Structure 1
C-alpha cells in the first residue's frame, strides 16, 4: 500500500494512472499534477468512472524546483513518477533529492535548446541518489524500457552473449488525420529529424536522418517501411552489453507522414531556434505542436495495431552455437482505447511506467543510485507485462537479420 505522485497529464500519464488505479493493492493513494490542472481533473474523472478510485489533482510547474519540493513534502509519496517532458527530468530529480523521495521516468533528459537526448546528464546524479539512500529508475516506457527488458530476458534465458541487436518499432495504426504524431509532437519530431546513429564495432556511426530505409513484414500488421534512427536505449544497451558488435533502432513511418514532415522541414516549422514574430520570440516547433492534434485525442479514431520488439543474435546459452531470437509485443489500438480511453502508443508506454513503479514499490527492484532497466532482473517485469495488457511472444529465427 503506497502513495504515489505522477507528474504530467498527457496520454501516457492517463494510461499509467488508469492502470495504477486498477492495481489498488499496490497503488493505494494516487496523486496527479501538471501545469494544467484541468487535464489532471479530466484523467481523474475518467479513472473514477472506470475504476471507482479517486485521484487527487494539483497544478504545478515541474521546472520550479521549490514548488515541486513543497508539493512532494505535502503529499509524502513513496515514489515520484515523471511522465512530463524530457526537458523537466533534471528539475524533478533535483526536487526528489531535496524532498527525499525516489524517482522514475520513461525518457531521458533532453535540453530545450538542442535536439540531443542522452543519459549522461542523469547518470551524473548516481552518487547523489546513492548518498541519499534513494533510487532513480530511468526509461521505464516501452522503447526505452520494455525493449531493454526484452533484451536482458534473452540474455538471461536464451543467449550467453548478444552480438547483434535490432529494435523494431512498428505502429500500424491509422488515426484518420492528414498529419498527427502518436506521442508528444515536439519530442516526436525532434527525434525523427535528428541524425541517425547506431552502435557498431565499439563506436557510433552517424547517418543523415531518415536516409536508411528497410521493409519488414510485421506480424498482424503487414509490410511496412522502417527507418534507421537513434534512440536512447542504444546508449544504455551499449553500456551494459559490452559484447555488442552492432545495435540499431528502426521505426516505421508511412509515406504521408514522410511527405508532410519533409514539407514542414523545408519551410522551417520543425526548427528549435527562436524566431521573432509580432514582437516576441517563438519556437517554430513549439507552435507546430500547438496546432497539431493532441495525441491523447486520437484514441477514439485510431484503428490497427502496434508491433514492437527486438531481434537478437548471439551465442546460445545451451552451447548449441549461434542463434537468433525475436521477442515482441502486439497491441491493438481499439482494445487500448476501450480499457483506458487512450490509443496503443500511449498504452505501450503507460503500462510499463506502471509496472516499473510497481517493481520499485514492492521491492522487487531496489537499489541506491541511478539505474537503467538493463540492470534489473527482467523476470518479474516480464510476468507483469503478460498480466497487465502487454503479452509478449518469443520465437527462434532461421538466422541473423539480412538488412
Structure 2
C-alpha cells in the first residue's frame, strides 16, 4: 500500500498532489485535506482534469490533534505529508504517533507567538518515533530540503570536507503586483523580518534583519541584490556537517519589495502580537495576509525564472587541494504553471515534497525516529530531481564568494 494523506491546500500542496498523481506506480492513492475544503476540491478538480486521477478531499483543523487523529484513522495512509503551516507540525506529529503512521514535512515548527525557527521541538520527538518504529522526515522542500541534499551530494562526490557553504535563493520572477509574496505572506514576512543568523567558527552570529546586502549575477536571471537571512537548513547542516567553518543563507529581494516591507514594518503591520481594534483582538500580520494576493493566484501572471543552489568550498576528494563547486537548479515560472497550474516558487517546494515522500514509500530512505535530509544517501533523491522537473547542474568555480 502506498496511500498518502496530504495536509495543506496552498500552492505547494497543489504541486505535490499533481506530481504524486503523475506517479501512480509510487502513489497508489492520494488524499488531500485542509481547513478549507473548497481549496482541496479545486486542486482535486485540476488533478482529475490533468491526470485522470481522483483525489478524495476532507476538511480538517490540523492544529486539533483529536481531529487529525480521526482523519488519519479514516483514511488509513502509510504516510502523512504535512504541507500546512509550520505552526501545525507538532500537532500532526502527535496524531501520527497516535495512529502509527509515518510523517513528513517541508518546514520546521515555529510557535505562533514568536518568529523562532528551530528544529529542537521536532528533534525532541526522535525517541518517541523510534519507540513506535515510525519515521519522520523533516524539511523536504527546496530550502530547506534540496539545498541540504545538494551539500551532501557535493560531500559524497566532490569534496572530502566542506569548509564554507553559501546557499543562494534567487526568484527572478515578476508577477506584476506592487507587493505580493510568492508563498504564504505570514510565513514569508516572519522570516524576512527576523534577525539574520549565520554559522561561523562553531557559533551563531546574529545581525539585524536585511542588514547585509550583496550583488550576485545569477544565471538565467541576471544581477540581483541578495540579503543574508537565517534559514532553518543552516541549523541541520551545522549539526550534520560538523567540520563547516561558516554557513550562510542569501535570498534576493527587489527594491520595490524592500520599500513596501519597510513601510509596513514602520507602521506596525508586520507585528505578530495582538492589538485591540474596535473591541476585538487582531494580529496585524494576519490581517495583512488577508488583504494581500493569495500566492496561488499569482501563477498565471508570473514570468521569469528561479535560481537556487549551493556554493561550497573544501578539500577536494581527489586530493588536489581546496576547490569550490556551485550546484544549482533553474526553474521557469511559466513551465511550472503549464504543468501544474502553479508558479515556480510553489513548484520548487512541491516537487521535492513529492520526492521525499517517494524516498520513504519506496524504502530508499528508511529509519526509525526523526531525521533530516542530510542523514540519507543523496543520490536517489538527486536522480528524481532530474526526472521530475528540477534538473540540476554543477560547475567548479575559481574560488569561494569574495565576501
TM bin, normalised by shorter chain, reads over 0.9
Distance 2:385 2:328 in 1: 11
**Distance in 1 between the 2:24 and 2:287 partners?**
39
Measured in 2, the distance between the counterparts of 1:177 and 1:311 equals: 31
Deviations 1:286-336 (A, max 9, x none): 000010001100000000000000000000001000000000000000000
2: CA distance, partners of 1:53 / 1:117: 36
Q: Which residue in the other structure is 1:366 paired with? A: 366
**How many Å separate the matches in 1 of 2:221 and 2:339?**
21
Q: Distance in 2 between matches of 1:303 and 1:103?
A: 34
Identify the residue that residue 54 of structure 2 maps to in structure 1: 54
Aligned to 1:66: 66
Q: Distance in 1 between matches of 2:367 and 2:296?
A: 34
Alignment correspondent of 1:219:
219
Per the normalisation by structure 2, the TM-score is: 1.00
Number of the residue aligned with 2:116: 116
- For residues 160-181 of structure 1, the C-alpha deviation after alignment (integer angstroms, 9 at most, x for no partner) is 0000000000000000001000
SS at match of 1:63: coil
Q: Does 1:244 align with 2:244?
A: yes
Equivalent in the alignment of 2:145:
145
Cross-structure match for 2:155: 155
Partner SS, residue 33 of structure 1: strand
Is 2:264 the counterpart of 1:264? yes
Counterpart of 1:42 in structure 2 is: 42
Query: What per-residue deviation string (whole Å, max 9, x for no partner) do you get for residues 103-162 of structure 1?
Result: 000000000000001000000000000000000000000000000000000000000000
Q: Under a length normalisation based on structure 1, what TM-score does the superposition of the two structures give?
A: 1.00
* SS across alignment from 1:209: coil
The SS at the match of 1:152 is helix
Partner Cα distance (1:35, 1:73) in 2: 18
Whether 2:92 is the aligned partner of 1:97: answer no
Shift of 1:399: 1.0
Structure 2 counterpart of 1:382: 382
- Distance in 2 (alpha carbons) for counterparts of 1:252 and 1:279: 39
The whole-number CA distance in structure 2 between the counterparts of 1:65 and 1:120 is 20
Q: Which residue of 2 aligns with 1:131?
A: 131
- The Cα of 1:384 is off from its aligned counterpart by 0.1
- Deviation string 1:6-63 (CA, Å, 9 cap, x unpaired) is 0010000000000000001111111000000000000000000000000000000001
The aligned counterpart of 2:177 is: 177
Aligned CA RMSD, in angstroms, stands at 0.4
Structure 1, residues 251-270: CA drift from partner, whole Å, max 9, x if none? 00000000000000000000
Offset at residue 279 of structure 1 (A): 1.1
Q: Which runs of 5+ in 2 are unaligned?
A: none
Name the SS for the 2:56 alignment partner. Answer: strand
Q: Distance in 2 between matches of 1:345 and 1:327?
A: 18
Query: Any stretches of 5+ residues in structure 1 without a counterpart?
Result: none
Separation in 1 of the partners of 2:65 and 2:285?
26
* Runs ≥4 residues deviating over 2 A: none
- 1:400: how far off? 1.5
Shift of 1:83: 0.2
Alpha-carbon distance in structure 2 between the residues aligned to 1:399 and 1:205: 23
In the alignment, does 2:311 pair up with 1:307? Answer: no
